[in-house]
Amino acid sequence: MPRTPALLVLTGALALALTGCGDDGPPARDAASPAPASSTSAPAPTTSAPTTTAAPEPTASAAPTFPPEVVPEQGGTYVAVVLTSTRSEDGTAEAEAAVARVAEDGYAGGFGDVGCFEGAREGLGLPAEGDYLISYVTFADGAAAEQFVDAYEPGVVGTVTVKTFCLD
C-alpha cells in the first residue's frame, strides 16, 4: 500500500504527541484553559457579593425650641440677650428692626439706653463714655438665655446679667 501524504502527517503528529508523554513535568497549558485541580492546593477562596448599606432617610431637623421671655420690671435682675448695640444717635432703626425680628418668634423684646441696664455696659465691653442703645430679650436665668441664643438665627451681641431701670 503506498504511503500518502495524509498518512505521513498523521504519523508525524502521533509521534510528536507521544514524545510529550514522558515524566518531564506537567504539560503546558494556555491561558484560556482552567488550572488543574490539585489535592494539595488550598481551598478556593470564596467571595461574597458586595453589600450595600442604604443611607438613612433624611429627617427634618427639629424646629428650635425657644424658651419663654420674662417681661422686665423696674429694679429686677435678669439675663439679657443683647441683639444689637449701637451709638444712640445712629441705632434706633437697627434696634427697631431687631425687635421686629424677635417678634416673628413670639417675643416682645425691647430697646433702650444701655445706662438703664446696670451691668450691660461692662458686660458688653462698651466704652465708659458715650450713649449706646441696645435691643434685648430678657430671661429669668442663664440657661433660658443660652437656649434662646442657640435657637436664634441672626446671632446676638452678647448675654449679660442686668438690673433694670428706666422702665416706668
pLDDT of the residue at 148: 97
Does residue 136 contact residue 98 with C-beta atoms inside 8 Å? no
Q: Give percent above pLDDT 90 in the chain.
A: 57
The mean-pLDDT minimum among 2-11, 65-74, 119-128, 133-142 falls in 2-11
Helices (H) and strands (E) in the chain, counts: 4, 5
Q: What confidence category does residue 5 fall into, taking pLDDT thresholds of 50, 70 and 90?
A: very low
Strand ranges (DSSP E) for 2-131? 77-87, 110-113, 117-118
18/111 Cα distance (integer angstroms): 109
- Residue-by-residue DSSP string for 60-71: PPPPPPPPPP--
| pLDDT tens per residue, range 11-52 | 344 344 444 444 554 444 444 545 445 445 555 555 555 555
For 83, the grid coordinates are 441683639
pLDDT of the residue at 88: 86
pLDDT of the residue at 122: 97
Does residue 47 contact residue 127 with C-beta atoms inside 8 Å? no
- In the Cβ-directed half-sphere of 166, how many Cα atoms lie within 13 Å? 10
- Bridge partners, 77 (sequence order): 163
Instruction: State whether the Cα torsion 123-157-133-165 is positive or negative.
Output: negative
* Alpha-carbon distances of 129 from 10, 136, 147, 163, rounded to whole Å: 118, 21, 32, 20
Name the residue with higher pLDDT: 65 or 133: 133
Task: Summarize the confidence of residues 131-157 as an average pLDDT.
Answer: 96
Name the residue with higher pLDDT: 14 or 63: 63
Q: pTM (2 decimals)? A: 0.63
- Bridge partners, 146 (sequence order): none
pLDDT of the residue at 41: 52
Going by C-alpha positions, the residue among 130, 127, 122 that lies closest to residue 158 is: 122
